[in-house]
Amino acid sequence: MEAAAIIESLQSAVPGAAYEVGHSVDMPTIYVPAEHLAATCRALRDLPALQFNVLIEVTAADYLPRDPRFEVVYHLLSVPKRYRLRLKVRVAANGTLPTVQGVWRGAGWPEREVWDMFGIVFDNHGDLRRLLMPEDWEGHPGRKDYPVQIRKSAQTYEPLEVSEAEFRANIERDRQKRTH
Amino acid sequence: MAEIRTETMTVNMGPQHPSTHGVLRLVLELDGEFIKSVMPTIGYLHTGIEKTAEQKKWQQVVPLVERMDYLGAQSNSLSYVLAVEKLLGLTMPQRVNDIRVLIAELQRLASHLIWLGTHAMEIGAVSMLFYAVRERELLLNINELIAGFRFFPSYFRVGGLREDLPRGFHEAVNAFLERFPGKIDEFEGLLTKNDIFRRRTEGVGALTLEDAFQWGLVGPIARACGSDYDVRKYFPYCGYESYDFTVPTATEGDVYARYRVRVAEMRQSVKICQQAIQRISPSGVWACDDTRVVPPPKDKVYTEMEALIQHFLIYSQGFTVPAGDAYVPIEGPRGEHGCYIVSDGSNRPWRVKMRAPSFMAIQALPSIVQGGLIADVVAVIGSNDVVMGDCDR
């Protein structure tokens, strides 16, 4: 199915959205405006002619110095219809996107990874924490202005030191808690 | 009567736990023996390969991506190589495609053998690991034969293969294919009707097809739930449409169904390998004829000026890839491996992203094991066949 045909069937389900056909060599590509992303994804999943029931992945690419800077890419798969589709959303450096977790539950972690690596915020995500990088990491390594190699001294954590008196007190407190 | 006080217990599992296949950390909230909630923590094996790949020339990325999913190494490089070739608009000669199919299927067998060995070992059948690894050794020997490297051969290159097949390749593959079906019977004889194994796996970690698709799980896990989705059949690549094989499925969606699907897949892989090795001549063409990508033969480099220049260009500058992006999915051992690449028209990739089936499988883990027994967590992790290198990349 061509991108133009998919856009045509989307027009009635998502009124007012300005879609754009993207150039591609492998599968239909559609540029979706960020504000219509959630409604578009729902329509793509539910329209009987499309049935994109699997979200294959969510990723992003940083096109610094272009503006808008990021493109977030969604790869969709329709198992019943044997279609593949690529959605692209242009996002500015401080822009946000709606989450599509409500459409495909599996979107949670890929969106977290995109936030972790590129710093793109997904509204209403609910659990937008670091995923691959440590929780106290600074910066977003996927960005083009993030250095490839940084010199950083190794972080160490002192082992928890407990004196014998404290240890006995802890045990006693636990025992009382259990027999309480 | 005194009121019974109940409280849940929080147990940390991993990151150094033998059954988590690498470094996966789970924080389990237990109500007695039952699981109330699971919180996976990943990222311990994050190596930034995707970022590193942006600094390398196109051909240099092949060994990098192989190190992501270290048990199915060549399915990573196959999807990467196919994606770059898609942007370059290259088509491969028949012989190259046949060799790629053969190597990819041998890789699937090697990966499934490690899955079978570790999965069975974790739920009590320790000796399975030795039997499975013994067979895998023969596959690693074949890798060593073609590339001198047992785990990460980097035999697939953009534009074809690294070099022609070595002497003795057909004998080694044929000997393995002759021996292996009997070994699958042996494995099945030990497990399929084994009462202990069945009690540990039947009805455990059941998943419906709808849930599997909702979580983005395709591949053996979805096929154990009744889907027949297989990239090799739905979106054929490397000429898979010309091979005679079936896609094994089951309907129960539990750990035992995943076991049956994967074992049946091994038999189908052997069938594909047997057809492929028949088609491959012992020597012949091993790369396409596009001089932008493939260096000219050595005798021409020494005698012709243009060939010398081309040789120098490829090894010093690399080749450029037209601007654009491509995503090529392949059926890896764990499900859909896919490589998304973006090119800005230069000799280095702008962005490389691997679609990791293990990543999706671990994301879905809490919903699969919730409400089950703590002992079943190990069975479910094993049956999902997760590789942390693939998950964390």
User: Is this structure's pTM higher than 0.80?
Assistant: yes
Q: Has residue B79 been placed in a domain?
A: yes
Do the Cβ atoms of A53 and A80 come closer than 8 Å? yes
Six token digits for residue B283: 């020597």
Q: Has residue B33 been placed in a domain?
A: no
- Map tokens 């392949």 to a residue: B330
pLDDT at B300: 87
pLDDT at A81: 87
Q: Indicate the burial class of B60 (C-beta count within 10 angstroms; 0-12, 13-18, 19 or more).
A: middle
Which chain A positions have a beta carbon within 8 Å of B89's beta carbon? Answer: 25
SS3 B13: strand
Q: What is the mean pLDDT of residues A51-55?
A: 90
Is the CB of A59 less than 8 angstroms away from the CB of B353?
yes
pLDDT at B387: 87
pLDDT at B78: 92
For B215, the domain range is 45-348
CATH number of the CATH domain containing B275: 1.10.645.10
Which of B87, B326, B342 lies nearest to residue A61, judging by beta carbons?
A: B342
Q: What is the mean pLDDT of residues A164-178?
A: 77
Q: Tell me how far apart the alpha carbons of residues B393 and B391 are, in angstroms, rounded to a whole number.
A: 6
Q: Has residue B356 been placed in a domain?
A: no
Do the Cβ atoms of A97 and A34 come closer than 8 Å? yes
Q: Has residue B147 been placed in a domain?
A: yes
Is the CB of A75 less than 8 angstroms away from the CB of B235?
no
| AA identity, residue B366 | P
Q: With 80 as the cut, is the pLDDT of residue A40 above it?
A: yes
Closest CA to B363 of B337, B391, B393, B329: B391
Which chain A positions have a beta carbon within 8 Å of B46's beta carbon? Answer: 132-133
Closest CA to A132 of B26, B43, B387: B43
Q: With 60 as the cut, is the pLDDT of residue A180 above it?
A: no
| Structural domains counted in chain B | 1
pLDDT mean across residues, chain A: 85
SS3 B25: strand
pLDDT tens profile B157-196: 998 898 888 988 999 999 999 999 999 999 988 888 888 8
Q: What is the ipTM of this complex?
A: 0.86
Which chain A positions have a beta carbon within 8 Å of B87's beta carbon? Answer: 25
Which of B50, B336, B350 lies nearest to residue A56, judging by beta carbons?
A: B336
Query: Which range has the worst mean pLDDT, A118-122, B27-31, B360-364?
Result: B27-31
Q: Predicted confidence band at B39 (pLDDT cuts at 50, 70, 90)?
A: confident
Q: What percent of chain A has pLDDT over 90?
A: 19
Measured between CA atoms, how close is A56 to chain B, in angstroms?
6
Buried b (16+ CB within 10 A) or exposed e, B349-375: bbbbbbbbbbbbbbbbbeebbeebeee
Query: Which range has the worst mean pLDDT, A15-29, B52-66, B273-287?
Result: A15-29
Which of B229, B329, B353 lies nearest to residue A79, judging by beta carbons?
A: B229
Which of B50, B52, B215 lies nearest to residue A106, judging by beta carbons?
A: B215
Number of H helices, E strands in chain A: 4, 7
Do the Cβ atoms of B342 and B350 come closer than 8 Å? yes
Is the CB of A54 less than 8 angstroms away from the CB of B350?
no
Measured between CA atoms, how close is B196 to chain A, in angstroms?
33
pLDDT tens profile A127-144: 888 888 888 888 888 888
Query: Half-sphere exposure of B16 toward its Cβ, with a 13 Å CA cutoff?
Result: 0
Do the Cβ atoms of B266 and B244 come closer than 8 Å? no
Q: Has residue B121 been placed in a domain?
A: yes
pLDDT tens profile B102-150: 999 999 999 999 999 988 888 888 888 899 999 999 999 999 999 888 8
Q: Has residue B354 been placed in a domain?
A: no
Q: State yes or no: cis peptide before B248, omega within 30 of 0.
A: no
In order of start, what are the domains of chain A with their CATH numbers? 3-179 (3.30.460.80)
pLDDT at B1: 61
Rounded to 10 deg, the angle between the B357-369 and A108-118 helix axes is 130
| AA identity, residue B221 | I
Q: Tell me how far apart the alpha carbons of residues B104 and A167 are, in angstroms, rounded to a whole number.
A: 57
Q: Has residue B367 been placed in a domain?
A: no
Q: Tell me how far apart the alpha carbons of residues B132 and B85 are, in angstroms, rounded to a whole number.
A: 35
